[in-house]
Amino acid sequence: MTLSKGSRPGSGVVAADHVSLRRNNLSVVLRHVREAGSRSRARIAAETGLNKATVSSLVAELVERGLLRDGQAEAGALGRPGQLVELDGRGICGVGAEINVDYLAVSALDLGGETVTERRVPLDVAHLDPGTTLDQLAELIRESVAAVLARGGLIAGVTLAVPGLVQSATGSLKLAPNLGWAEVPVVDEMRERLGSPAYPVRVDNEANLAALAAYSEMKTGPDPVQDIVLLTGAVGVGGGMVTGGHLLRGGHGFSGEVGHMPVAPAGGTCGCGRTGCWETVVGLTALLNKATDLDDPVRDPSLDVEQRLAEITRRAEAGSERTLNALADVGNWLGIGGAVLVNILNPDVLVLGGYFAMLGPWLKEPLETAIRDRVIAPDGGGCRVVQSELGFTAAVRGGAQISLDQVFLDPTLVGRDAAGVAQ
C-alpha cells in the first residue's frame, strides 16, 4: 500500500526512511561494481543480497544518473546471457590539488580512476605568503575544472592536500612548519578564490591522501593487503596509515606527522623548531646537503622535483662516491625510523612514496635490513617494503578519490539528468 504524505502520523518518517534506504542501496550497487568490476544484474543481486527486481530498478536509476552504463553480454553464461553493467564515470570527476614546499600540483580523475588532466608546476612555496600561493593554486584548479567541463564533465568536488596539521572538519590548517604557515582557513580562502562554487571544497593532510591512493594501488594488485604505512618524502616527511581499509587519523586528526619523530638528538634543527626530527636526516634537503654543493643546479627550486631527482639518479648510476655515500646515509636513517613504525604498527606493507620511491633502488635495501635487525617480531613482523608507482601524484590522486568517494557513498548527489554536481 502506498501512503500519501500526511495519511497517518509518522508518515513523514516512513518516507524519509524509504529515501534513506534507497540511497543506501544505490550506494551498495555502485560501490560493488567499482570493487568487483562489470557484473550482470542477476550477479549483482546474488553478490549483494538484494533481490533482482530491486537491483534492476537501482541499476536503471544509476544509468539515468550517468554513473553506470550497459556493457557487453556476459560471457560464458548459461542460458540467455545477461547484459553486464559497468561504471560510466567518464563525466564525473574529482579534483585533487596539492601544496608542497617546492611545487603545486593538480589532478582530475574520473569515476573509474582514469586521469583526465594533471599538472605540476615548480614553485618556491616556502618563500611565498599563503595568499600568493593560494592565488596560483586556484588558477591551476580553475584550469583543471575548465578542462573537465569542456569535455562535458561534472565536478564532484575539490580536495586540497597540505603538508601539515589539518582540521578537515573546519577546513583549516593549524600548522605547516616547512611552509611557514599557521592558522590558515584554506578552504574558505580557496572557495572565495573559486567564486564560491556549488561543488564542495575540502582539505586534508597530504600524507593521508597519499596513503589512500597507495592503498587503492595495493588492494587491487596481485597480492592485496589491508594494512599499510606510506612514507612520503619531499623536503618534509609524512606518514599515512591505513588499517582494515580505514585511514588512521588519530583522536584529533593530527596523526601521520612521522617526520617529527625524534631520532637524531645530535642532529640539525627542523622546520618545526625542534632538534633531531627524522626529516632532518631523511628529508630531501638532508640528502641534497650531503650529496651536493650549495651552488649545485639540483638545489634550484624552480626546477621540477622529478628533474632534480633524475640527476641524482644519474649520478648514482654513474658511481658518484659522494652521491652513493649520501644515499647510504639517508637509507640508514630511513631504516632506523622505519623500524620504529613497524614495531608499533606492524603493517603488511611499508610503502615508499615521493622521493623515497624514485630513489628506492638505493634506499630500500638499508630499510629492509633495519626492519630485519630492529623489529622484534620474527622476520620483521611479516612486513614487506615496496616502492609506490604513483611518485609525486599520490596526494593529488588521493584528493581526487576523496571527492569521488562522496558520489559512491551518495549517488543521489548526481542529478537524474547528470547535472547535479557541477555548476
The pLDDT tens digits of the residues spanning 113-150 come to 889 999 999 999 989 999 999 999 999 999 999 999 99
Q: Are strands 115-122 and 103-110 parallel, antiparallel or unpaired?
A: antiparallel
The pLDDT, as a whole number, for residue 415 is 77
Distance CA 197, CA 199 (A): 5
Least confident of 62-66, 182-186, 301-305, 335-339: 301-305
The rounded radius of gyration (Å) of the Cα atoms in the chain is 24
Nearest to 93 by CA among 75, 71, 116, 67: 116
The pLDDT, as a whole number, for residue 420 is 40
In one-letter notation, the amino acid at residue 208 is N
Model-level pTM? 0.86
pLDDT beyond 90 at 105: yes
Report the percent of the chain where pLDDT is more than 70: 91
Task: Count other Cβ atoms within 10 Å, centred on residue 269.
Answer: 11
Segment 404-417 mean pLDDT: 86
Distance CA 160, CA 90 (A): 22
The pLDDT, as a whole number, for residue 79 is 53
Distance CA 260, CA 275 (A): 9
Which three cell numbers, joined as nine digits, stand for 218?
Answer: 595495493
pLDDT band at 6; cut points 50, 70, 90: very low
* Terminal-residue alpha carbon distance, the chain: 39
In order of 124, 343, 394, the CA distances from 277 in angstroms are 22, 19, 24
Distance CA 329, CA 145 (A): 43
Segment 199-208 mean pLDDT: 94
Distance CA 379, CA 357 (A): 23
Which three cell numbers, joined as nine digits, stand for 175?
Answer: 600548522
Alpha carbon 193 to its chain centroid, in Å, reads 23
Segment 290-307 mean pLDDT: 90
User: Of residues 323 and 391, which shows the higher confidence score?
Assistant: 323
Distance CA 179, CA 100 (A): 8
pLDDT band at 2; cut points 50, 70, 90: very low
The mean predicted confidence, pLDDT, of the chain is 88
pLDDT beyond 70 at 419: no
Least confident of 61-75, 260-274, 375-389, 405-419: 405-419
Segment 17-21 mean pLDDT: 86
pLDDT band at 14; cut points 50, 70, 90: low
Least confident of 25-34, 83-92, 117-126, 173-182: 83-92
**97 DSSP assignment:** E
* Ordered strands of the 165-167 beta sheet: 165-167, 172-176, 181-184
Q: Is 1 exposed, middle or buried (0-12, 13-18, 19+ CB in 10 A)?
A: exposed
Q: For residues 48-85, b (16+ Cβ closer than 10 Å) or e, as one string? A: bebeeeebebbbebbeebbbbeeeeebeeeeeeeeebb
Segment 342-349 mean pLDDT: 93
What is residue 159's three-state secondary structure? strand
pLDDT band at 324; cut points 50, 70, 90: very high
Which three cell numbers, joined as nine digits, stand for 347?
Answer: 603493517
Q: 24: which residues sit within 8 A by CB, 6+ positions away?
A: none
User: Of residues 9 and 60, which shows the higher confidence score?
Assistant: 60
Task: Count other Cβ atoms within 10 Å, centred on residue 153.
Answer: 23
Segment 253-278 mean pLDDT: 87
Segment 217-221 mean pLDDT: 75
Beta strands in 112-261 (DSSP E): 115-122, 154-162, 165-167, 172-176, 181-184, 201-205, 228-233, 237-243, 246-247
Segment 258-265 mean pLDDT: 90
- For the chain, the residue count is 423
